[in-house]
Amino acid sequence: METLVFYLFGGIALLAAVSVVAQKRVFYSALSLILCLGSVAVLFLALEAPFIAAVQIIVYAGAIMVMVLFVIMMLDPFSAAAARDKRRRLTCLAAALGLVALVVMFTLMRAHDPAALPVDAGGVPLAAAPVSRLGQLLFTRFLIPFEATSILILVAIMGVVVLARKRS
């Protein structure tokens, strides 16, 4: 099972990575990178790192890449012209994919049964144990690097505000 997952999502990740480099339009490169990040997140799950997989999807593929896409749409003068040519075909594709997503989500919602989740004697889901160990490690042995990252983020925020403001 793990071998199958590895070859499937490893292959998707590699193809998406090649597509990042091969695409002419930066916008499509960014979309390929999101696909690559998602496949690697599945590999993280296979490597028993559920927390890292979740952070990869939420922070990396979600927050960071959305910000990158905003900047690309703002700066890249070729994206808009290229997108207009294929708009009709892409609209059909988007509608089809949205329909598939709707059916999948609806099926999952119908199948969801909270009582079926594995629970240990203390009432805590078993899958939560490794993540709590990660948190313990982060707030004991690696407390100083963790606090250093918060200073780094603060410095980055101030730097961005200074860099991107309009000169009067």
Partner 1 sequence: MNPYLVLSLLLFLVGTTGFIVKKNVLAMFLCVELMLNAANLAFVAFARDLGHLQGQIFVFLVMVVAAAEAAVGLAIMIVLYRRRQTLNPDDADTMKG
The tokens 């890449």 sit on which residue? 65
Question: Which residue stretch of 62-70, 96-104, 107-115, 121-129 sits at the interface with partner 1 (rule: CB under 8 A)?
Answer: 62-70
Q: Which is nearer to partner 1, 21 or 121 (CB)?
A: 21
Q: Which is nearer to partner 1, 106 or 142 (CB)?
A: 142
For position 37 contacting partner 1 by CB under 8 A, the verdict is: yes
Do 125 and 118 meet the contact criterion of CB atoms below 8 Å apart? yes
Closest approach, Cβ 70 to partner 1, in A, equals: 9
For position 17 contacting partner 1 by CB under 8 A, the verdict is: yes
Q: What are phi and psi of 125, to 5 degrees?
A: -55, 140
Provide the sign of the torsion angle of the four alpha carbons 46, 47, 49, 53, taken in this order: negative
Do 36 and 15 meet the contact criterion of CB atoms below 8 Å apart? no
For position 55 contacting partner 1 by CB under 8 A, the verdict is: yes
130, two tokens: 């490794």
N residues, the chain: 168
Q: What is the dihedral of CA 31, 35, 37, 38, to 10 degrees?
A: 140
Long-range CB contacts (within 8 A, 24+) of 121-125:
none
Binding mask 128-167 for partner 1 (x = CB under 8 A): --x--xx--xx---x--xx--x--xx-xxx-xx--xx---
Residues in touch with partner 1 (CB under 8 A): 6, 10, 13-14, 17-18, 20-21, 26, 29-30, 33, 36-37, 40, 43-44, 47-49, 51-52, 55-56, 59-60, 63-64, 67-68, 71-72, 74-76, 130, 133-134, 137-138, 142, 145-146, 149, 152-153, 155-157, 159-160, 163-164
